[in-house]
Amino acid sequence: TVVEELVNDLLCVCRILSSNDCVPQVQPAVGVGSFRQGWSSCEEDLVYRMLVPLKPPPGHCFHLNLDT
């Protein structure tokens, strides 16, 4: 939760600094899990994964282009 709070604080600053209406808007981060990297038993060896959703700018939408 500490990592998630830190990332969300950073994203809040990014939202303030990029208040332009023509760029995607970052949403609060979602933790999607962590795992141990390598064989070490040290706690510093944890890797955290955070998903940062993007919201389209007003008047725009995101859509997937299917590849043939």
**pLDDT tens figures, 32-63:** 766 655 555 555 556 778 888 888 888 888 88
pTM for the model: 0.57
CB 49 within 8 A of CB 31: yes
pLDDT at 2 > cutoff 70: yes
CB 47 within 8 A of CB 64: no
Distance, in Å, from the CA atom of 56 to the CA atom of 24, rounded to the nearest integer, reads: 5
Higher-pLDDT residue of 33, 3:
3
Here the tokens at position 6 are 């830190």
Here the tokens at position 68 are 């043939």
pLDDT at 42: 56
pLDDT at 13 > cutoff 70: yes
